[in-house]
Structure 1
């Protein structure tokens, strides 16, 4: 009994329950928001534009999400940096405690929109409040920071992907239920009432857990001069005895911004795309589609577990980018549900790049700067969203009549561009490895060293 109690207590004080509660609350909230926006779009009209009924609905939905997501991207920028500094210097819990304080009112406001038939625009104010409390970027950066500090550098990428796996599994379960939960209501209440009440309850429990139960354990990290800067692979490794490799950090940031924009931009428009003909999904179908998206977190984790035994982290990132680029390009031509699920199946490793990039970045800085570094990465992606969210939205609206999937082709192109910085890092790592070999031999026989490297490369191939 004592061992059982200790095990349960250890689980309850870990970061995992926090992820479960937050993801369930977010899943029910966003599924409800999507359907509420679709319901309100039925009466949308644009007198000054020669648009069909369906095009008017698509314009209403895409315009709403453009403004809403811009608010969610911009509002957290300064609070995220402030909370990250507080987390690094004073209170490590700050980045995971403050965001739910803004998430709870956001869910309650949407509930009032449903019950009282308030204008949908009040969600812009709710989104602003959520953003000023740090938003999801602060929350997830806090989770990643707490997780990173609780494990060794060698195991960090696997542990971070384990958190992504948990996030995905909870998302699958939540999305499978969300569509049915959204339809549970009486005739006197609006659709989505039950789902939003449950969402608010989950977020409230998340807040209580973060404040009262969460316990943060920081293990002693390896000395900075003994850490690998980029990879656990013995054939491609770099040491950073003199400090941070700024060139590699810039390249990692560039790859993350390009890939994050490509992925987020495509997924943002995907929610609008599936609500038009020929798909025209209802609440239940939307929940199943979101569940398929969450499955990608699970398959990405399995990919990390399998691939990291034979390839380094740089190759892992490239595998994930190829997976996303191919799947999202196929999404451009989707006209039936089975094609949608086939396209998403090609995205099975799409989640690998971002946590792996975070892992590489966290290995290049001391623990005291880990939080601000990971938050800066999130902020960089959000600053770039000021351009890509309006661009993706307007391109989607302009191409709606002749090629509505064009934005997905554009996203695939950005993914290819994101692979360039990662490839440069791979070349730099190989060159540094070669230089280390030469130094180990005292520089006396460079030709012999080069011949050895060529033989080794041939054997690997």
Structure 2
């Protein structure tokens, strides 16, 4: 039988495997999210314009020295306090259950349900713009997003499908590329958001209509692609294949290791034997890393949540296009993190790379505290985007930082960024202790081996 007879049987397989790619869903979802984030800020700002801000301000009787811009800033800040609480807390009601259903019945459950929540929340913003509804309707839209599992349920499902569709020696690269696609899509969406928002500016009720419609379209594409096109890949793991001691990407060590719960035990057997008393210091390392993560996350989340308010008021007073460009600068973290891991991991340990990220973020936050011109903002961003942010204490931090911003914006508007810089440098202390302990234990292991 000639080769022409075997071709019809061989070509459907590659096309079938293309349907297991989760990348189109990641790109379209993040594109919708970046458009939505910029649109939400600009729509809320327009809603709390002159005359409307005093009705929603936290202070029932603002002092005479309060400028209209300050009243608007307080109103926007109070909105985001409630909005971030809703977004952060409602997924707790559903994310775990969606994960359980996905593991037990079908891997696409958490992805599809969370994408349904994304679509409903973006529809809420579109209807608010189209029908000129009160801004409080966006709280309900955020609740629908959270009840669908939110980003945590979506991204856990993406990681599961990405891992299933990759062999063990390629899994690390696949997960890093998914992060990179997430950042590139967010960058493109943010760059276009300001220009899209300016369409139909002549009619007040239609301001932001094109932007929100594009966000809804991208979210709808992601949902229907997940339902109708996406297929769950068969596991490509090979149990009989011997696992390497460290699964790396282009020589990188300590990042995106193979998702094998038994691998750490196998590495211990292949490497140095554990020395007496090692189990107890391991608990110390975990505790120190938790402390560092929580302190550092206070700095990161607080800065990220306050920054959109900061750029809207004097001295920057950004317009819609500049707001989009500023948000796009934040997404370059995915590119710099990808390159940084490839470069620094060849020379440094994990703890050293973590401290590099913390120092860069702390330096950037300190520069942002004294920003007076737009170019200074981007200089601060160059440092900030090098850090690897966490999402452990976002709900509490968002509320606290917004209140701090309201209380200090008249005296020193950069207080939140200065506080973030202090917390970022403070978080280096436990990481340094961990690095010191690791070096000491490594030296101890070398001595005992000799």
State TM-score, norm by structure 1: 0.80
- Structure 1 unpaired stretches of 5+: 355-377, 442-461
Aligned partner (choices 160, 185, 195) of residue 211 of structure 2: 195
Query: Compared with structure 1, are the counterparts of its residues 79 and 257 closer, same or farther at alpha carbon in structure 2 (3 Å cutoff)?
Result: farther
CA contact (8 A) 1:28 1:195 kept: yes
Query: Compared with structure 1, are the counterparts of its residues 63 and 201 closer, same or farther at alpha carbon in structure 2 (3 Å cutoff)?
Result: same
Pairing 1:171-182 to 2, within 5 Å after superposition: 171-182=186-197
Partner of 2:109: 94
CA contact (8 A) 1:158 1:304 kept: no
Distance (whole Å) between structure 1 residues aligned to residue 207 and residue 407 of structure 2: 32
Matched, 1:416 2:425: yes
Q: How many residues align?
A: 410
1:142 CA displacement: 2.9
Q: Secondary structure at the match of 1:274?
A: helix
Query: Compared with structure 1, are the counterparts of its residues 261 and 207 closer, same or farther at alpha carbon in structure 2 (3 Å cutoff)?
Result: farther
Query: Compared with structure 1, are the counterparts of its residues 342 and 10 closer, same or farther at alpha carbon in structure 2 (3 Å cutoff)?
Result: farther
Determine which structure has greater relative contact order: mean sequence separation of CA pairs < 8 Å that are 6+ residues apart, divided by chain length.
1
CA contact (8 A) 1:224 1:240 kept: no
1:80 CA displacement: 1.9
Partner of 1:207: 223
Query: Compared with structure 1, are the counterparts of its residues 143 and 254 closer, same or farther at alpha carbon in structure 2 (3 Å cutoff)?
Result: farther
CA contact (8 A) 2:168 2:237 kept: no
Q: Secondary structure at the match of 2:237?
A: coil
Partner of 1:109: 124
Partner of 1:279: 316
Partner of 2:437: 428
Partner of 1:38: 45
Distance (whole Å) between structure 2 residues aligned to residue 290 and residue 5 of structure 1: 42
Aligned partner (choices 197, 200, 208) of residue 185 of structure 1: 200
Q: Note the alpha carbon deviations across 1:143-170, whole angstroms, 9 max, x for none.
A: 3344455557777665443322221111
Partner of 2:70: 55
CA contact (8 A) 2:368 2:380 kept: yes
Matched, 1:312 2:349: yes
1:12 CA displacement: 4.6
Q: Note the alpha carbon deviations across 1:82-134, whole angstroms, 9 max, x for none.
A: 22333344433333222111111111111111111111001111111111111
Distance (whole Å) between structure 2 residues aligned to residue 270 and residue 4 of structure 1: 51
Distance (whole Å) between structure 1 residues aligned to residue 377 and residue 88 of structure 2: 27
Q: Secondary structure at the match of 2:102?
A: helix
Query: Compared with structure 1, are the counterparts of its residues 385 and 296 closer, same or farther at alpha carbon in structure 2 (3 Å cutoff)?
Result: closer
Matched, 1:67 2:74: no
Distance (whole Å) between structure 2 residues aligned to residue 309 and residue 18 of structure 1: 32
Aligned partner (choices 232, 239, 253) of residue 253 of structure 2: 232
- Provide the alpha-carbon RMSD of the alignment: 3.2
Pairing 1:332-347 to 2, within 5 Å after superposition: 332-347=369-384
Q: Note the alpha carbon deviations across 1:337-361, whole angstroms, 9 max, x for none.
A: 111111111224123x65xxxxxxx
CA contact (8 A) 2:110 2:149 kept: yes
CA contact (8 A) 1:153 1:227 kept: no
Aligned partner (choices 237, 254, 275) of residue 220 of structure 1: 237
Partner of 2:28: 21
Q: Note the alpha carbon deviations across 1:245-267, whole angstroms, 9 max, x for none.
A: 55444444433333333212211
CA contact (8 A) 2:111 2:153 kept: yes
Q: Secondary structure at the match of 1:180?
A: helix
Partner of 1:138: 153
Distance (whole Å) between structure 2 residues aligned to residue 229 and residue 432 of structure 1: 22
CA contact (8 A) 1:151 1:219 kept: yes
Partner of 1:76: 91
State TM-score, norm by structure 2: 0.81
Q: Secondary structure at the match of 1:220?
A: coil
Distance (whole Å) between structure 2 residues aligned to residue 53 and residue 39 of structure 1: 13
1:199 CA displacement: 0.9
Query: Compared with structure 1, are the counterparts of its residues 89 and 412 closer, same or farther at alpha carbon in structure 2 (3 Å cutoff)?
Result: farther
Q: Secondary structure at the match of 2:206?
A: coil
Distance (whole Å) between structure 2 residues aligned to residue 290 and residue 197 of structure 1: 19
Matched, 1:299 2:299: no
CA contact (8 A) 2:17 2:233 kept: no
Q: Note the alpha carbon deviations across 1:293-345, whole angstroms, 9 max, x for none.
A: 11222122111121122222222222222111111111001111111111111
1:438 CA displacement: 3.5
Query: Compared with structure 1, are the counterparts of its residues 264 and 216 closer, same or farther at alpha carbon in structure 2 (3 Å cutoff)?
Result: farther
Distance (whole Å) between structure 1 residues aligned to residue 219 and residue 115 of structure 2: 6
Q: Secondary structure at the match of 1:339?
A: helix
Q: Secondary structure at the match of 1:54?
A: helix
Partner of 1:329: 366
Distance (whole Å) between structure 1 residues aligned to residue 196 and residue 381 of structure 2: 24
